[in-house]
């Protein structure tokens, strides 16, 4: 009986592994280069690392090992001991961390350089929130500590916000700081000459009815005012007015730390990647309206979107051989394992390189990097795209060049017209899709022509010309749908209808 039970268990584990590995194709492992940590760092230390947003030009890396804060200005070849903090500040990694707040995070604002700027670091400690400055030349480095096991008190007056417990913060493109004190979100401009414990001028933006654990802002925040937050019991919320108010996303609500990242080309592609704990990696190509789990069942721990549009995912050991870093060059349909198997990935950074994406992975043993050259067969090409995409009315899957993918928005027929989910259609054909949540405006482009429409509006703009649109796009059950025939009318795609199987196919001419 015991032997039989073990056999059944092994079969189940094999099935789970096969199901989880289904989206992973074309394994092509990269060669990774290891960056040496400071010589004083004890062996076996799990480092916390932050990389400058301007790393390709300034080569700045910051690292903490629980005792000391280090900086490198040459990409990790040499390290400077910025300040030994263990004796004075009693910092402990992991002692009081929770599932929703990582042990430590390092943030570097966009305008940081080696001579002046502000670097902010958040870290768990065994005491209440404190701040301390560390100076190097005329540069100010400021670190926050928090005790996440003690619920933060309600925020006091704005002037005392820096004395509350900070659960999350981020920098805008202009280095404006956005912080969460409990369930309240504030903004403030930090001058490099200020100590952070000088309250300065903080502006109260919004009270969220749930503690905020993390904040992420769009790289084009000064124009689109898009901000995402992770909350205690509502999952991920999104704002398109600079954090004045938020709306609930359709992402699953679960325990654990959500890893949220905007595309560096968000202004044009509207793409967001979010790691949902114990669920997978979710991708939106319409600015957070529709989401697709592109790595279901995988134990994803980190994600990043490269300047080229490639998507990278870091994993841990949960599924045995399925660990290391994966890359997708077709918006999450196919994935390649690009190496670092046997490593647990805690963070990913991607920069534009001369011959491809420079990918940096923070692992349980340090920092490693590689250059990823996109394979021609998988590289996205908005002007060409796949040969065809096929939707069957009422079914929750669709076919791209013979490969079947899942959708949470089934196509339907209304007034004799076939409507298909726009985000999946655009993703399948590698089309650029932009969405304005405020005006409900849509812009769809295949690299040669573009359409501008709005939900329910009977007008379409093709380039510089306007035409009457008898069948405008609609929102149904929280998903945006488009009449498939519009792609034939305005973008010259071939659209065919299979009446026997109730299927519509859109193909490249």
**Same domain as 194, residue 113:** yes
Identify whether the C-beta of residue 271 lies closer than 8 Å to the C-beta of residue 284: yes
Identify whether the C-beta of residue 314 lies closer than 8 Å to the C-beta of residue 298: no
Q: How confident is the model at residue 305 (pLDDT cuts 50, 70, 90)?
A: very high
> pLDDT value at position 57?
87
Q: How confident is the model at residue 113 (pLDDT cuts 50, 70, 90)?
A: low
456-481 confidence digits (pLDDT tens): 998 999 887 888 988 899 998 878 89
* Dist CA 134 CA 356 (whole Å): 36
**Same domain as 408, residue 362:** no
**Which CATH number goes with the domain that contains 47?**
2.130.10.10
**Most confidently modeled range among 132-146, 149-163, 171-185:** 171-185
> pTM of the full predicted structure?
0.65
In a domain, 407, yes or no: yes
In a domain, 484, yes or no: yes
pLDDT exceeds cutoff 90 at 139: no
Q: What is the mean pLDDT of the segment spanning 415-433? A: 84
In a domain, 10, yes or no: no
431 token code pair: 């089309």
Torsion region of 394: left, alpha or beta (phi above 0 gives left; psi -120 to 50 gives alpha):
left
Residue scoring higher pLDDT (497 or 17): 497
> pLDDT value at position 236?
95
Which of 395, 434, 441 lies closest to 418, judged by CA? 395
| Mean model confidence pLDDT for the chain | 74
For residue 207, the tally of other CB atoms under 10 A from its CB is 12
In a domain, 502, yes or no: yes
DSSP conformation letters of 8-44: HHHHHHHHHHHHHHTTB-S--PPP-EEEPPPTTSPTT
Q: What is the mean pLDDT of the segment spanning 384-392? A: 74
**Same domain as 361, residue 491:** no
Of the candidate ranges 58-72, 268-282, 332-346, 355-369, the one whose mean pLDDT is the lowest: 58-72
**Same domain as 447, residue 330:** no
**Same domain as 367, residue 289:** yes
The strand pair at 139-146 and 118-124 is best described as parallel
Identify whether the C-beta of residue 93 lies closer than 8 Å to the C-beta of residue 49: no
Residue scoring higher pLDDT (386 or 42): 42
pLDDT exceeds cutoff 80 at 504: yes
204-263 confidence digits (pLDDT tens): 788 888 888 889 999 888 888 999 999 888 999 999 999 999 999 999 998 888 899 999
Q: How confident is the model at residue 9 (pLDDT cuts 50, 70, 90)?
A: very low
In a domain, 378, yes or no: no
> pLDDT value at position 173?
81
309-319 confidence digits (pLDDT tens): 899 999 876 54
Q: What is the mean pLDDT of the segment spanning 364-383? A: 65
pLDDT exceeds cutoff 80 at 356: yes
**Same domain as 326, residue 267:** yes
> pLDDT value at position 274?
96
Q: How confident is the model at residue 342 (pLDDT cuts 50, 70, 90)?
A: confident
**Same domain as 350, residue 249:** yes
For residue 263, the tally of other CB atoms under 10 A from its CB is 23
Total structural domains within the chain? 2
Q: What is the mean pLDDT of the segment spanning 14-27? A: 40
Interior CA angle at 334 toward 329 and 339, to 5°?
75
pLDDT exceeds cutoff 90 at 275: yes
Q: What is the mean pLDDT of the segment spanning 385-410? A: 82
Q: What is the mean pLDDT of the segment spanning 270-284? A: 91
pLDDT exceeds cutoff 50 at 485: yes
> pLDDT value at position 315?
87
Residue scoring higher pLDDT (282 or 2): 282
> pLDDT value at position 198?
43
In a domain, 452, yes or no: yes
**Same domain as 179, residue 281:** yes
Q: What is the mean pLDDT of the segment spanning 386-412? A: 84
Q: How confident is the model at residue 201 (pLDDT cuts 50, 70, 90)?
A: low
> pLDDT value at position 164?
41
pLDDT exceeds cutoff 70 at 140: no
Write out 121-178 in H/E/C secondary structure: EEEEECCCCEEEEEEECCEEEEEEEECCCCCCCCCCCHHHHHHCCEEEEEECCCCEEE
> pLDDT value at position 283?
94
Q: What is the mean pLDDT of the segment spanning 44-55? A: 80
Q: What are phi and psi of 172, to 5 degrees?
A: -80, 170
In a domain, 210, yes or no: yes
**Same domain as 392, residue 336:** no
Residue scoring higher pLDDT (51 or 154): 51
In a domain, 63, yes or no: yes
> pLDDT value at position 121?
52
Residue scoring higher pLDDT (248 or 116): 248
**Residue 99 half-sphere exposure, CB side, CA atoms within 13 Å?**
9
**Same domain as 410, residue 366:** no
pLDDT exceeds cutoff 50 at 152: no
What is the domain extent for residue 405? 388-507
Q: How confident is the model at residue 145 (pLDDT cuts 50, 70, 90)?
A: very low
**Which CATH number goes with the domain that contains 478?**
3.30.457.10
Residue scoring higher pLDDT (64 or 345): 345
80-103 confidence digits (pLDDT tens): 876 554 333 333 333 334 455 555
**Same domain as 313, residue 368:** yes
């Amino acid at each position: 009986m015991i032997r039989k039970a073990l056999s059944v268990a092994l079969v189940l584990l094999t099935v789970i592994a096969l199901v989880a590995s289904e989206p992973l194709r074309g394994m092509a492992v990269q060669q990774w280069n290891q960056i040496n940590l400071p010589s004083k760092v004890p062996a076996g230390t799990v480092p916390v690392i932050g990389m400058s947003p301007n790393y390709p030009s300034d080569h700045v890396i910051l690292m903490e090992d629980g005792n000391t804060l280090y900086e490198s200005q040459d990409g990790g070849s040499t390290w400077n001991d910025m300040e030994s903090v263990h004796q004075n500040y009693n910092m402990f990694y992991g002692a009081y961390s929770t599932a929703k707040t990582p042990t430590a995070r390092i943030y570097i604002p966009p305008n940081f350089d080696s001579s002046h700027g502000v670097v902010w670091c958040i870290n768990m400690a065994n005491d209440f929130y404190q701040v301390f400055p560390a100076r190097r030349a005329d540069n100010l480095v400021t670190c926050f500590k928090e005790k996440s096991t003690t619920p933060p008190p309600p925020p006091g007056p704005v002037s005392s916000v820096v004395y509350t417990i900070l659960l999350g913060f981020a920098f805008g493109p202009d280095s404006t700081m956005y912080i969460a004190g409990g369930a309240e979100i504030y903004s403030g401009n930090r001058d490099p000459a200020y100590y952070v414990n000088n309250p300065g001028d903080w502006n109260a933006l919004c009270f969220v009815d749930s503690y905020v654990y993390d904040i992420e802002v769009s790289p084009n925040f000064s124009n689109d005012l898009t901000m995402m937050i992770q909350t205690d019991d509502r999952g991920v919320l999104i704002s398109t007015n600079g954090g004045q108010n938020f709306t609930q996303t359709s992402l699953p609500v679960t325990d654990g730390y959500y890893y949220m990242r905007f595309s560096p080309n968000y202004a044009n592609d509207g793409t967001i990647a979010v790691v949902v704990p114990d669920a997978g990696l979710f991708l939106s190509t319409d600015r957070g309206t529709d989401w697709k789990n592109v790595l279901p069942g995988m134990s994803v721990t980190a994600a990043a979107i490269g300047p080229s549009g490639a998507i990278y995912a870091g994993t841990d050991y949960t599924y045995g051989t399925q660990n290391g870093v994966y890359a997708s060059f077709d918006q999450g349909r196919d994935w390649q394992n690009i190496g670092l198997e046997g490593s647990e990935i805690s963070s990913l950074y991607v920069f534009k390189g001369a011959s491809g994406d420079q990918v940096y992975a923070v692992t349980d043993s340090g920092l490693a990097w590689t250059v990823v050259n996109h394979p021609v067969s998988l590289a996205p090409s908005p002007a060409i795209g796949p040969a065809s995409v096929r939707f069957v009315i009422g079914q929750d899957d669709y076919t791209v060049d013979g490969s079947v993918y899942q959708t949470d928005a089934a196509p339907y027929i209304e007034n004799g017209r076939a409507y298909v989910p726009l985000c999946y259609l655009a993703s399948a054909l590698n089309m650029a899709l932009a969405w304005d949540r405020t005006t409900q405006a849509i812009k769809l482009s295949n690299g040669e022509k573009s359409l501008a429409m709005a939900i329910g509006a009977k007008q379409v703009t093709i380039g510089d010309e306007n035409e009457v649109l008898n069948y405008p796009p609609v929102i149904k059950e929280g998903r945006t749908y488009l009449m498939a025939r519009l792609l034939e009318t305005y973008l010259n795609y071939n659209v065919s209808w299979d009446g026997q199987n109730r299927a519509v196919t859109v193909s490249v001419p």
